[in-house]
Amino acid sequence: MPPLTRWHIKSAFIYLAVAMALGMVLALGAVMQLPTWIAYLSPVFFHLIMVGWVTQMIFGVIFWMFPIVTRARPRGNEKLGWAVYILLNVGLLLRVLSEPLNAINPQDVWGWGLVLSALFQWLAAVFFVYNSWPRVKERYRGD
C-alpha cells in the first residue's frame, strides 16, 4: 500500500472517530440541556463524515487500487496526489474551525474562512480527478 494511501486511510479513520464522538454529543441535545453553541457543530459533523471519512477513504483507495497509468508512473503524479491530500485536509480543518465560529459570531474573517475552505476542497477534488482520470481506461496498453 503506498504511503499516500495510508495517510488518506488513517486520516479517514481519525475523522470517523471524531465525527462519531461529535454525533454522540449532538444526540445528547435531545435528552439534556447543552450549551447553545453545540448546535452550531451540526454542519461540522456532516463535513467530518462526508469529506473526512467518506471522501478521504475513497481518494486513498482509488490512488492505491485503480489501474496503473504507466510502469514509470503507475499512480500518476505523486506530488499532485500529496497536494490533494494537503488541500483536502487543510480545507476540512478550516471548515471545522470556521463553520461554528461564523455561526456564533458572523464576521468577515469567518466567512472568508468558509470560502477558503471551499476553495481548498474544490481544488483537491479537481486535482484528484485530473490525476486519476488517465487511470480509468479499458485496458492497460503497456505504456
Which range (45-49, 60-64, 72-76, 126-130) has the least confidence? 72-76
Question: Domain count of the chain?
Answer: 1
Is residue 82 situated within a structural domain? yes
Any domain includes 13? yes
Give mean pLDDT, residues 120-140: 88
CA-to-CA distance for 65 and 49, rounded, in angstroms? 22
Q: Which residues of 100-124 are buried (b: 16+ CB within 10 A; e: fewer)?
A: bbbbeeeeeebeebbeebeebbeeb
In a domain, 7, yes or no: yes
Tell me, yes or no, whether 140 lies in a domain.
no
Radius of gyration of the chain (CA): 18
Task: Tell me what percent of the residues of the chain surpass a pLDDT of 90.
Answer: 64
44 within a domain of the structure (yes/no): yes
Residue 142 is assigned to a structural domain of this protein: no
Q: Give the domain extent around 95.
A: 3-135
Half-sphere exposure of residue 130, counting CA atoms within 13 Å on the CB side? 13
Element (H, E) at 21: helix 3-28
Is residue 69 predicted with pLDDT exceeding 80? no
SS (H, E, C) 92-122: HHHHHHHHHHHHHCCCHHHHHHHHHHHHHHH
